[in-house]
């Protein structure tokens, strides 16, 4: 009986590790007028009614982790400044989402937040060989029911006429690896409806060691979570 319990615990641990998809949010908070860093600002997100956050250091820097992958809203608050909320902050597993903010000085106490959209840089200086396809991009695409066709629109990626095999920069289809929610795909493809996908990361080069010795590329798929749907209905 004891061996069975230990085996069950080990299996549950492996499953939880395999499906643990978390990232980080980092940034710098400054005074909009002077450009000076703001010390002691509260920066947080809300997950299931629970606040997860940090306080800026003397350089105005903060870090929030671990953050579940998905779409979040970042709130900023400090005495003497107008509160701010930044919407549609996409957090991806094993990745840092940079969210910088400039706060407006205010001599009047206000309860409402200034709400702005999060702007994502077109090129990530940390991972130049990675392109991310967001859930919004998929939903807005005429190929939303065929996500592999959307992947085929990325430079260096070619989808074969059978609509399944993927060639990365001329490599064989067998050299392309598919990862879904942290687990290697057993079907050798995405195999998930487009509208159920939270994001797709396409590595056409510089593949992280975590994905093994891959000679082609890696397509990492993350399905939508509860937080994605909750964020959608709260906006």
Q: Give tens-digit pLDDT for 12-62.
A: 433 343 445 788 999 999 999 999 999 999 999 998 788 999 999 999 999
Using a pLDDT cut of 90, give the percent of the chain over it. 26
Whether omega before 66 lies within 30 degrees of 0, making that bond cis, reads: yes
Q: Which one, of 214, 175, 222, lies nearest residue 69 by Cα?
A: 222
Please give the CATH number for the structural domain made up of 2-117: 2.60.40.1120
> 130-233 adopts what CATH topology?
Ferric Hydroxamate Uptake Protein; Chain A, domain 1 (2.170.130)
Entry pTM: 0.60
Backbone angles phi, psi at 234, to 5 degrees: -85, -10
115-134 per-residue burial string, b: 16 or more CB within 10 A, e: under 16: eeebeeeeeeeebeebbbbb
Per-domain residue ranges of the chain: 2-117, 130-233
C-alpha–C-alpha distance, residues 197 and 47, integer Å: 20
Confidence (pLDDT) at 211 = 74
Q: Measure the N-to-C terminal CA separation of the chain; round to a whole number of Å.
A: 49
User: Taking residues 151-170, what's their average pLDDT?
Assistant: 85
């Amino acid at each position: 009986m004891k061996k069975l319990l230990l085996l069950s615990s080990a299996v549950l641990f492996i499953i939880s590790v395999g499906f643990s998809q978390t990232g980080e949010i980092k940034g710098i908070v400054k005074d909009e007028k002077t450009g000076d860093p703001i010390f002691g600002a509260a920066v947080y997100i809300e997950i299931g009614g629970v606040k997860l956050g940090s306080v800026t250091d003397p350089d105005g820097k903060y870090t929030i982790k671990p953050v579940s992958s998905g779409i979040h809203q970042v709130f900023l608050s400090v005495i003497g400044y107008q509160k701010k909320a930044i919407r549609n902050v996409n957090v991806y597993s094993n990745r840092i989402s940079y969210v910088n903010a400039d706060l407006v000085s205010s001599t009047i106490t206000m309860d409402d937040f200034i709400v702005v959209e999060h702007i994502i840089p077109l090129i990530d200086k940390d991972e130049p060989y990675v392109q991310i396809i967001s859930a919004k991009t998929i939903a807005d695409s005429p190929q939303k029911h065929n996500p592999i066709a959307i992947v085929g629109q990325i430079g260096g990626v070619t989808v074969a006429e059978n609509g399944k095999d993927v060639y990365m920069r001329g490599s064989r289809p067998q050299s392309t690896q598919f990862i879904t929610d942290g687990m290697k795909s057993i079907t050798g493809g995405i195999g998930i409806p487009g509208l159920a996908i939270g994001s797709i990361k396409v590595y056409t080069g510089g593949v992280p060691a975590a994905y093994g010795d891959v000679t082609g590329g890696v397509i990492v798929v993350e399905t939508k979570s509860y937080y994605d749907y909750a964020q959608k209905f709260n906006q």
